[in-house]
Amino acid sequence: MGILVCHFDSLLSSSLLTNLSSFDFPLQQVRLIRSHNLKIRRTLKMSLPNSTHPAQNPVTQQQKIIIPNKYGEKLVGTLHETGSAEIVILCHGFRSTKDNDVMMNLAVALEKEGITVFRFDFSGNGESEGSFEFGNYWKEAEDLRAVIQHFNTVSRVTSAILGHSKGGNVVLLYASKYHDIAVVVNVSGRYNTKAGISERFGKDFFEIIKKDGYFDVKNRSGEVYYRVTEESLMERLNTNMHEACLQIDKKCRVLTVHGSADEIIPVEDSKEFAKILPNHKLHIVDGSNHGYTSHQAELASVVVPFIKEGLHQGA
């Protein structure tokens, strides 16, 4: 049985993508080879079959991409390439990675709709370089900036940014500073950054860090899991989500999704976002915990249509 080998650039710019079904071998035998100078322009909306109205069976490939942040640290991510001109960037939460279930399942749900997705590890997390820090909200927003600028250089259109948990805070902070994203999805982000600290580390946490300048978080076997410095703690405490959200453009469409049974960040936080964001939609997933363990399908059913609607409006 033969194998069809074709350059991915040529595939996207020709009619071959829409005619694969005419070949008498299974799609699994199609091998896509990417050239070194892939540039997918906005004009792909004209050449691809409905980039904002995705094909029923989009051809997808995954590619590892490394992007340096402003500090020279390498950020590692996975591109789910469908050939769409638009791209959605997914941001993980605290002590998590790009391979978290929420990130993976949303990436798959979006790629099934023909939407290209990039999920990556923030600096100090997962495969990316750098040291883990407890706070780092604004540094992670700058990591996201580096990713968006990278895709700008290859003429991709970042149509939406989505973050889960702490990543939800990061995408909102990014939108408050840079004003170049039309759709923001905040999945279980924290409104009150001053809350949840003593609940996580104990009531004597503040006294220890004031005395020693740091606090070591240990696992059950007594090994140091990570260190919280006084500087990183203050960065979190001084991150004001209320003031940041007031700076987000009124034209920017924001979706907040939160589980009613969230055991880490109270569902009430989502309602605070709804009070101050003018172009905002709130969806509460009944019975869901923080990780949407039993509600992944419902999460995707809310997020994907919201992003697709943003693509239509931006077309």
- In this structure, are 206 and 260 located in the same domain? no
Task: Tell me: do 198 and 80 sit in the same domain.
Answer: no
Is residue 87 situated within a structural domain? yes
Q: Is 27 a domain residue?
A: no
Q: Checking DSSP bridges between strand 116-120 and strand 61-68, what pairing results, if any? A: unpaired
CATH of the domain at 93: 3.40.50.1820
Residue 72 lies in a domain: yes
3-state secondary structure of 49: coil
Domain for residue 228, yes or no? yes
Closest CA to 116 of 143, 78, 66: 78
Residue range 7-19: mean pLDDT, rounded: 36
d(CA 251, CA 240): 21
Share of the chain above pLDDT 90, in %: 71
Q: Are residues 200 and 256 in the same domain?
A: no
Q: Which helix (H) or strand (E) holds 150?
A: helix 137-153
- Cα–Cα distance, 313 to 99 (Å, whole number): 30
Q: Are 257 and 283 in contact (CB under 8 A)?
A: yes
pLDDT, position 211:
92
Distance separating alpha carbons of residues 49 and 57, to the nearest angstrom: 11
| 201 and 276, same domain (yes or no) | no
The pLDDT value recorded for residue 58 is 60
Same domain, 161 and 212: no
Are 179 and 254 part of one and the same domain? yes
Tens digits of residue pLDDT in 253-305: 999 999 999 999 999 999 999 999 999 999 999 999 999 999 999 999 999 99
Average pLDDT over residues 17-39: 34
Domain count, the chain: 2
Tell me: the pLDDT tens digits for 51-101? 444 445 566 789 999 999 999 999 999 999 999 989 999 999 999 999 999
Query: For residue 207, what are the domain limits?
Result: 194-238
Q: How many CB atoms lie within 10 A of CB 284?
A: 17
The answer to whether residues 202 and 165 belong to one domain is: no
Query: Last residue of a domain, which of 208, 238, 268?
Result: 238
Surface-to-core class of residue 56, CB atoms within 10 Å of its CB (0-12 exposed, 13-18 middle, 19+ buried): exposed
Bridge partners, residue 88, by sequence: 117, 160
Please tell me whether residues 226 and 123 are part of one structural domain.
Answer: no
* Last residue of one domain, picked from the residues 212, 238, 264: 238
Domain check: are 137 and 274 in the same one?
yes
This prediction's pTM: 0.81
Residue 150: pLDDT over 50: yes
Please indicate whether residue 13 or residue 227 has the higher confidence score (pLDDT). 227
188 and 256 assigned to the same domain: yes
The token pair that represents 132 in the structure block: 């883990």
**Do 95 and 221 share a domain, yes or no?**
no
> Mean per-residue pLDDT for 97-117?
97
Q: Are 108 and 167 in the same domain?
A: yes
Report if residue 16 sits inside a domain: no
Return the pLDDT at 191: 98
- On whether residue 146 sits in a domain, the answer given is yes
